[in-house]
Amino acid sequence: MARQARAEGRLSGFVPTMGALHAGHMSLVRTAMKECRPVIASIFVNPTQFGPNEDFQKYPRTFAADSKQLEEAGVDYLFAPEAAEMYPQGFRTWVNVEGLSDRLDGRSRPGHFRGVTTVVLKLLEIVQPQKAYFGRKDAQQARLIRQMVRDLHLDTEIVVCPIVREPDGLAMSSRNAYLNPNERRAATVLYRALDGARRSIERGERDALRLVAAMRETMRGESSVETEYVELVGAESLEPMALLRGECLALLAARVGATRLIDNLLIEESDAGFRTTL
Ligand code: AMP
């Protein structure tokens, strides 16, 4: 369908997901619907991006509700393959974005990004979209996918869309469904830490180490939350910065009970100073 659109000069858009759709996913779909036709979504809980002790088995699967939402939003096609179709017996080819995939989430989740980039490459090859939409919620993932598309000369433009949040700031995630009411309240600490950094930057703070220390301190204030990492990195290199410069990301990951959550703040230098986007 996308091949035909390409031949006819139409712009096809693709929104890959693991389902359990929420307003974050649907914002990607809406943006795609504004820019493209046809719009193709996929739902595939990709086994190769889950570690052996992770939540692959219990990951929320709500296919009937998801497909209804996508249809109501006007999505033209839904691709929902079986694991055995994506990874037939004997499968043995992987894509790895070296270096960038070992840091941050890649350090906490060995092999995770190898699974992500491999499945995204396969999906892009199958669907052949002109544009593909990803969320900045998974900022490292978006950075890796951009790199892969550049390195492998893929003919798809990667569009990164803003983070959609709950009214109290918690970034929407399919995994939020795991949180009990106490955990759900505590989970806002990720947003509070990033929002504190945002306010410090607006007041003129430029020292990345002080910003990281303050975020760690905020995280420690929520005793039921176990921080995995707090880092302030260059948006291209994903390497830690000492001072804010150019485009940076403040990134954090934490465990709230058994649930692993991530969030980030985008910091962009301009002539007028630093612009922050939660
Ligand atoms: P997932 O189903 O978690 O693999 O996510 C599918 C796509 O939706 C990815 O590109 C995510 O970055 C994006 N996404 C997930 N949560 C959000 C959110 N709260 N805001 C914006 N995009 C999101």
- Give the residue from 67, 14, 19, 22 showing the smallest Cα distance to 171: 22
Rounded to the nearest whole angstrom, what is the distance from the C-alpha of residue 25 to the centroid of ligand 1? Answer: 5
Residue 7 has pLDDT above 90, yes or no: no
Q: Which of 22, 25, 112, 153 is catalytic?
A: 25
**For a substitution probing ligand 1, which of 18, 63, 138 has the most ligand atoms within 8 Å of its CB?**
138
76-126 confidence digits (pLDDT tens): 999 999 999 999 999 999 999 999 999 999 999 999 999 999 999 999 999
Q: 174 CB under 6 A from ligand 1?
A: yes
211-245 confidence digits (pLDDT tens): 999 999 999 999 999 999 999 999 999 999 999 99
* Residue with CA nearest ligand 1 atom 13: 135
Q: 17 CB under 6 A from ligand 1?
A: yes
The closest-lying atom of ligand 1 relative to the alpha carbon of residue 21 is 2
- In the chain, the percentage of residues whose pLDDT exceeds 90 is 96
At 258, is the secondary structure helix, strand, or coil? coil
30 burial (CB, 10 Å; 0-12 / 13-18 / 19+) is: middle
DSSP state letter for 49: G
Contact indicator for 159, 140 with CB cutoff of 8 Å: no
Band (137; pLDDT cuts 50, 70, 90): very high
DSSP code string of 83-152: HHHHS-TT-------TTTTTSTHHHHSTTHHHHHHHHHHHHHHHH--SEEEEEGGGHHHHHHHHHHHHHT
Residue 3 has pLDDT above 90, yes or no: no
Contact indicator for 19, 66 with CB cutoff of 8 Å: yes
Q: Residue 201 and residue 199: Cα distance in Å, rounded?
A: 5
pLDDT of residue 2: 74
Contact indicator for 104, 228 with CB cutoff of 8 Å: no
Report CA 257 to chain centroid distance, whole Å: 21
Band (270; pLDDT cuts 50, 70, 90): very high
Report the DSSP pairing between strands 247-256 and 225-234: antiparallel
* 25 part of the active site: yes
pLDDT of residue 190: 98
- What's the token pair of residue 275? 């612009």
Q: 66 CB under 6 A from ligand 1?
A: no
pLDDT of residue 277: 98
Rounded average pLDDT over 6-13: 85
Rounded to the nearest whole angstrom, what is the distance from the C-alpha of residue 203 to the centroid of ligand 1? Answer: 31
- Residue appearing with tokens 């007028």: 272
- Backbone φ and ψ for 13, nearest 5 degrees, come out as -125, 145
Rounded to the nearest whole angstrom, what is the distance from the C-alpha of residue 35 to the centroid of ligand 1? Answer: 18
Rounded to the nearest whole angstrom, what is the distance from the C-alpha of residue 134 to the centroid of ligand 1? Answer: 7
148-183 confidence digits (pLDDT tens): 999 999 999 999 999 999 999 999 999 999 999 999
DSSP state letter for 213: H
